[in-house]
Structure 1
């Protein structure tokens, strides 16, 4: 219950920020394009926001599929917790859409053919991949924003994503939920992984049935 309470409170916090933002920007255009072959994320802070939006779209779509067709071997309470994770990722996705307004990228379909959604082990392994990758992406993108206001908002989501990653690892290996999360060889360093946008897109390329262009994003 404590875990579920955390999920609900954290989600409500970000949701409140989204509502505030909604009053500051015009309603976003929300086109859907299932025939995309190339997606250019753009430049500057707008490009970085679309980059994070893409990752949140990916996570939200994944958890939605899990909730819609959950594995039959989930343990007690896990579907409810994964539903809360889905709700968080939807809030994150809509947060970025509201922030970007008409500059937001279209809604995209993803390729989840490598994931066995009937298997708890497969679903949790994929969730670990998405959550760890998301945390590394936020770590790598943070220093690239020029707007301190945007950085402060993005940081609120980054901390929630880190808790998601720890929670999923706790489900997989309760005795060592931090195993493999931190950098270092054979010892805990206390530092999270940092990945650049090109590295993140390359790591997630199998889930994108199209080419993601990140060449316009800042690198320093």
Structure 2
């Protein structure tokens, strides 16, 4: 039996059997990027990363789960996946990491790219565009790379956990959970490579969108 790790893409047609995701997409697809951000600003959006309104991805904050909110959460997830994918692409291409760290980064890069591809397909015209990134010197040496990978993956796990209860449609919940569990595997593996406990607690705390955006803001990775 081969132990080769493969990347399996989620099938939107299997997840969205009743067209619920596509239907919700159609309801917001007419919004321009500027309109989307404007709505978020009215709902309490925060400027981060050199003026990028990342929390615009939350769209109007709604008290109850809705199809439109599902789309907003998927866009929030997509932006986090853009960030992670770009980080690993740069880390692998730069050539400053090696051994198990390089092997892990290569596999995780492919996973994150698959997540991006799936979320963009699910969102269709409603998908936000890829931001510009500057990872500074975090991919320039192995120790800094591993520390950053742990931080990003831990944040990603907490982000998905935080949005789960806010989702309405079962297909969206299934998609989010299928990504969330893989992000947790990434976090555990990078923690081990960094000499940290792979599972320091029996229970993890979820993070709200505001908490996650504060963490992302602190990195300064999103520049435009």
- Structure 1 residue 20, shift from structure 2 partner: 5.2
Partner of residue 45, structure 1: 70
- Structure 1 residue 68, shift from structure 2 partner: 0.8
Root-mean-square deviation (CA, aligned residues, Å) is: 2.9
- Structure 1 residue 94, shift from structure 2 partner: 1.0
Map of 1:76-115 to 2, 5 A cutoff?
76-113=99-136, 115=137
Checking the alignment, whether the CA contact within 8 Å between 2:16 and 2:171 is kept in structure 1 is: no
Gaps in structure 1 of 5+ consecutive residues? 29-34, 183-189, 211-220
Partner of residue 11, structure 2: 17
Gaps in structure 2 of 5+ consecutive residues? 30-49, 61-68
- Structure 1 residue 177, shift from structure 2 partner: 2.2
How many residues were matched structurally? 186
1:136 to 155, 158, 168: 158
Checking the alignment, whether the CA contact within 8 Å between 1:134 and 1:161 is kept in structure 2 is: yes
Partner of residue 194, structure 1: 206
Structure 1: 4+ residue segments shifted above 3 A: 18-26, 35-39
Structure with bigger helix share is 2
Residue 18 to residue 60, structure 1, CA distance change in 2 (3 Å): farther
Map of 1:52-201 to 2, 5 A cutoff?
52-71=77-96, 74-113=97-136, 115-173=137-195, 176-179=197-200, 182=201, 190-201=202-213
Q: Normalised by the size of structure 2, how large is the TM-score?
A: 0.73
Write the deviation string for residues 22-74 of structure 1: whole angstroms up to 9, x where unpaired: 99769x9xxxxxx9843421241111110000100000000000011031xx4
Checking the alignment, whether the CA contact within 8 Å between 2:133 and 2:223 is kept in structure 1 is: yes
Q: Normalised by the size of structure 1, how large is the TM-score?
A: 0.75
